[in-house]
Amino acid sequence: MHHTRYLLHLERAQQKFFQELLAVPDFNAERDEDIYVVVHGIEARFRQAFRVPGPIAVDYQIERIRSSGVTMRFSIRHPHDGSVYCDGSRTVCKLSSQTHQPTAWSEPFKAALEAY
């Protein structure tokens, strides 16, 4: 798999993770402003290439929560044998959907991040 595909899988997994934290079925930034984020930074280590197309698992671990950002460690791995294809960390910043400027997480979402 081409290395840029790892980043696409990270984005999709983070969106699903945030939807689960908010207990919502889909992405809707107007309804759920905590989903409206931009990537502030990413550090990735490519461990090995995918040899055969198939299922993967993306794991996130919260490393640091700030007022309008969160840094999460991640790993992209084989879902059965645990072989790690890529790992690293990713920081996202929440934006206001009206002003497109950084804004604080809602209290319920911040509590869900802290509880995770």
Q: In which band, very low, low, confident or very high, does the pLDDT at 111 lie, cut at 50, 70 and 90?
A: very high
Domain boundaries, the chain: 3-115
Q: What is the mean pLDDT of residues 49-74?
A: 92
What CATH topology corresponds to 3-115? Thiol Ester Dehydrase; Chain A (3.10.129)
> How sure is the predictor about 2, in pLDDT bands with cuts at 50, 70 and 90?
low
Q: What is the DSSP string of 5-69?
A: HHHHHHHHHHHHHHHHHHT-SS--TTT-GGG-EEEEEEEEEE----SS----EEEEEEEEE-SSE
Pull the structure tokens for residue 23.
Answer: 């207990």
- Residues 70 and 14 sit within 8 Å (Cβ to Cβ): no
> How far is it, in rounded angstroms, from Cα 96 to Cα 30?
10
Across all residues in the chain, what is the average pLDDT?
91
pLDDT band at 66 (very low <50, low <70, confident <90, very high): very high
